[in-house]
Chain A
């Protein structure tokens, strides 16, 4: 297998493991995938290129707020997800690019079906990562989910981790 091929399968393995943790609602384990200086961003649907420092986005979490988000989702008082929705994520079209400083720039397509209260609909979009090597493993330094949806008319909220 080529070097790029083996790198991609290592990244894919990581992304598939991450997707499984989210679908299984193992959010504390999922949080362990993040570096302490990580950021998780979801731009508004009408401004996919939105910058949280200048523009209105849906989500812009540092690790403190991401931990709080996980605590919230773990509690029964996160009403949009209590009871929890069923989700199934499909991560594909994975592309990996090595940056000079030992980090990996990763992009993939994201499709998450969410089912709850007798209804189901997908979140569709692209997901971008900056992954950092951490010994033999990888850590998420940056994670950005960019929705293709024009608005949140199906879901009413971004109540799950995208």
Chain B
């Protein structure tokens, strides 16, 4: 099938269909690597994960083994995790602190800013041996925005802020909630879903599935006195779904559950009420009523194209999707919290995270199951197409509509056909 025919996008009739081979074909998966993962900015990690000089973290990003390390000059640098000498991995732990990086194969050693500083028996190499040719290599492009570090394997990639397009405002809306900046708490959730990575990008922004798929979560929260129980899709306030350009998209809801930042809910307990009210007053003072309302009373699921999600509802989760095979993705989730929170405030937030999020939460396991179920269903190849046309004729689409998912797919389709940004008006 020709790539241009993989998506049917008929705005007049309100038809949007994705051919299921997009989730199963090994050829398309290989082309995705070249045309999307090797071209875009891809999330690497958060500045707070390496607080002290010498702190490092190891990651796999778009298939490459990388690590990032804070130097003695406080700069965070990113390196390919492969010795320039013969290829062994320099960094062999997921996290740690190092003054000098030494390869365990021939004991070449490197400074934390990547310079080759030690070669045992160097005199055997002759007079033309040049240490500067063997510095640790960085990905072609490295940049950060407000503590979120990204890499790109495309030397021609536009700058990160331009790339983030309309997603930038939403990142600000998350980061500005903190008085002293954000940090990632220790511990991450790492799990594998035996499904195509794009299904999780979709699912993370899919408001339509919330009530039917996550009924047990809705019931659990209802037990604390939230009027979520018995909701039908049509009875829910619509929220707003937007395509933000460049494949980034967001679904933003009026929150009826708790928001640890500044919206109290019975699930947090009485003792949290005054504390949360204080934070709210502080936010209003600094950001005004309207922006505080957006921070505290609305929640947002933000997709930073192609494979990063910022889930800001019961808590703030950074969710990174590493595509591994057409039918397999590795997910890592971290919990982002305001630095100034500790003690009971932090405990409330950590607890709120676990109600919905994480592989032991009351909802994420259902999503893992449903995506694997879709992937298994795709083996019925005669079925052919998935429908993503909900709300396509709605002039003000809500989060139960699917504009946000179409925004993702349109950018995917453009990239796969070798085009750059989508510039057509989304609908």
Q: Which A residues are within 8 Å of any B CB, using their own CB?
A: 42-47, 50, 52-60, 65, 68-69, 71-72, 75, 77-81, 117, 150-159
Name 8 interchain pairs, CB-CB below 8 A, sorted by A: A44-B187, A44-B189, A58-B358, A68-B223, A71-B216, A150-B190, A152-B192, A158-B360
Chain B residues 174 to 216 lying within 8 A of chain A, measured CB to CB, are 185-194, 213, 215-216
B34 within 8 A of A: no
Q: Write out the residue numbers on chain A whose beta carbons fall within 8 Å of the beta carbon of B150.
A: none
- CB nearest neighbor in A for B347: A53
What's the Cα separation between A56 and B358 when bound, in Å? 9
A57 near B187: Cβ-Cβ < 8 Å: yes
A77 near B216: Cβ-Cβ < 8 Å: yes
A157 near B185: Cβ-Cβ < 8 Å: no
- CB nearest neighbor in B for A119: B194
B354 near A55: Cβ-Cβ < 8 Å: no
- Distance (Å) between the CB of B230 and the closest chain A CB? 14
B84 within 8 A of A: no
A52 near B350: Cβ-Cβ < 8 Å: yes
B223 near A56: Cβ-Cβ < 8 Å: no
- CB nearest neighbor in B for A61: B354
What's the Cα separation between A88 and B359 when bound, in Å? 21
- Distance (Å) between the CB of A24 and the closest chain B CB? 21
A77 near B215: Cβ-Cβ < 8 Å: yes
Of B11-19, B256-264, B278-286, B368-376, the stretch lying at the interface with chain A is B368-376
Q: Write out the residue numbers on chain A whose beta carbons fall within 8 Å of the beta carbon of B362.
A: 68-69, 72
Of A42, A60, A77, A156, which one neighbours B194 at CB under 8 angstroms? Answer: A156
A58 near B216: Cβ-Cβ < 8 Å: no
Q: Write out the residue numbers on chain A whose beta carbons fall within 8 Å of the beta carbon of B335.
A: 56
Chain B residues 284 to 305 lying within 8 A of chain A, measured CB to CB, are none
What's the Cα separation between A117 and B372 when bound, in Å? 10
Known interface pairs A59-B354, A68-B223, A68-B362; A50-B194 also in contact (CB < 8 Å): no
Q: Write out the residue numbers on chain A whose beta carbons fall within 8 Å of the beta carbon of B213.
A: 79
Of B193, B215, B350, which one neighbours A56 at CB under 8 angstroms? Answer: B350
- Distance (Å) between the CB of A79 and the closest chain B CB? 4
Q: Write out the residue numbers on chain B whose beta carbons fall within 8 Å of the beta carbon of A158.
A: 359-360, 365
- Distance (Å) between the CB of B272 and the closest chain A CB? 14
B94 near A46: Cβ-Cβ < 8 Å: yes
Q: How large is the interface on B (under 10, 10 to 19, 20 to 34, 35 or more residues)?
A: 35 or more
Chain B residues 16 to 74 lying within 8 A of chain A, measured CB to CB, are none
- CB nearest neighbor in A for B334: A56
User: Interface SS of chain A: helix, strand, loop or mixed?
Assistant: loop
What's the Cα separation between A150 and B190 when bound, in Å? 8
B426 within 8 A of A: no
What's the Cα separation between A71 and B216 when bound, in Å? 8
What's the Cα separation between A87 and B362 when bound, in Å? 20
Which of A69, A151, A157 has its CB near the most chain B CB atoms (within 10 A)? Answer: A157
Q: Write out the residue numbers on chain B whose beta carbons fall within 8 Å of the beta carbon of A68.
A: 220, 223, 362
B9 within 8 A of A: no
A43 near B372: Cβ-Cβ < 8 Å: no
What's the Cα separation between A153 and B215 when bound, in Å? 26
Q: Write out the residue numbers on chain A whose beta carbons fall within 8 Å of the beta carbon of B334.
A: 56
A47 near B215: Cβ-Cβ < 8 Å: no
Of A47, A52, A156, which one neighbours B368 at CB under 8 angstroms? Answer: A156
Chain B residues 355 to 401 lying within 8 A of chain A, measured CB to CB, are 355, 358-360, 362, 364-366, 368-370, 372, 376
- CB nearest neighbor in B for A56: B187
- Distance (Å) between the CB of B335 and the closest chain A CB? 4
B313 within 8 A of A: no
B308-352 interface mask toward A, CB cutoff 8 Å, 1 = contact, 0 = none?
000000000000000000000010001100000000001100110
Q: Write out the residue numbers on chain B whose beta carbons fall within 8 Å of the beta carbon of A44.
A: 187-190
Known interface pairs A54-B185, A156-B359; A151-B192 also in contact (CB < 8 Å): yes
A46 near B190: Cβ-Cβ < 8 Å: yes
Chain B residues 136 to 153 lying within 8 A of chain A, measured CB to CB, are none
Of B191, B216, B365, which one neighbours A153 at CB under 8 angstroms? Answer: B191
- CB nearest neighbor in B for A149: B190
Of A43, A56, A78, A151, which one neighbours B191 at CB under 8 angstroms? Answer: A151
- CB nearest neighbor in B for A158: B360
What's the Cα separation between A156 and B361 when bound, in Å? 12
A151 near B190: Cβ-Cβ < 8 Å: yes
What's the Cα separation between A158 and B351 when bound, in Å? 17
A156 near B191: Cβ-Cβ < 8 Å: yes
Which of A43, A55, A56, A78 has its CB near the most chain B CB atoms (within 10 A)? Answer: A56
What's the Cα separation between A72 and B347 when bound, in Å? 24
- Distance (Å) between the CB of B210 and the closest chain A CB? 13
